[in-house]
Chain A
């Protein structure tokens, strides 16, 4: 079979890139998540998430630990343990993923949607050579076999800037540094030529200097391949820098969605404002950082109203009793706060869709 040259749009302008969108592509977002809920042992940790991702978009997901940002994407790809109760709808180009047969899901995972994780050293199998781990994806999703695997894997290692790429095929993960292992993870994700790369805290476990390198690599790869990027992080600054649109999550809900610049210049939700106040400024005089008081509530003991209300400086009486829905708060913006919702009517049910 004829191997499609990866990243062909850069190398051969006359070949059809796997990443250019054919005319017959169905309308609507590439990936849509609707009313996604997840519960572990009856404790609900994700309480109705609505998200959409366009082709080639860079979407940032921000929130403190336990806000459900990783769980959202693990659930979407069916990667949660079997005791997790997942409901809702996740569609890739209109095709449902949550109830898809295992074989279909396996074609999507790694082939259409790839995922990389926080701690690259434990995310790679310690007893399998890294070249083989990348080769698995090539064989599974690209039909590469035999000696071509070595050549192709080496090329991917070069692409992600792994030093001494030629000799690394036979290396084991423990022989590489954390940053190098994350490059291997990225190479492995790219091997399937996915439409989406979900990066779950890809730099959290790495040194500060390496963090910047990995982020730069992700940005470069995204612009070169045209794939969509979902960057999950607790660091709003980092996400705003490399993404076009930012989703802020709190206690298993989306509390604000906005273009990246606007979330900085004009944050709507008090939680987002709090996150920004806790962030050191990029320019201008130094100022005292303001932490958000209190802690993320225990998912099994959420307050009856807005989950952020106990920590919110702009709390109103209504916040204590009703959960505000996610509503339009400007062009291309959504926010879930009573303060932004003058027309807000107390809902009959616990949760109201925007």
Chain B
């Protein structure tokens, strides 16, 4: 299997229907993740992280915008081809390890089952099950029933099933939630190792600042948009494709929506100068 593929979105919009109204879960997300990159998706609850992950995983179709997986425009691929892509190229880990595993199988069989589905889609060059288990450090517990595993082991088992076909892209929704520190570190280490050794592009949704701090790049989603980006601990604002610049939360405290500002450039420095505050919008 080829290694990681780049993943990108352009003007991604997703609406859902609730109580008779259309609600925008995502409203113009432009995101680019390079091949083999490890990226964390951050943001408050309801910001649209999981929706974005589901769109990237092909579980949902966007209301507007485009999604690219390498050269393939995922948002235009037929359902059957999306299934085929999911069987080999994109792997999605849902929040809660058990939701990723067949409960009546052991770890080995879950990995084998994932490969079985991939083979049914035409895959031939799949790794040995034992090799996959070794990669995630679960070879010793390969035949244990799921009910006998610790939460950390269960999450590793879910990771094993997710990477059983050595996918190009791994999308993981809160893979470390409800885990203690040791288990969390083990899972993160495993995912990082997979990213490093297999070159898999990894996108992790997390709430955990400690997890975020361990990721080389983070993207913050806020109100359905890219709200910022962090690289090696530094937080940045991101100018969107249509020229908007979502301000980080702490800046918004000073510059509430509706504030009139003047931008000034001084060599390499841009200054934002508030000119006036409209009545009723300022604190």
To the question of whether A and B form a pair in one complex, the answer is no
Contacts from B to A (Cβ < 8 Å): none
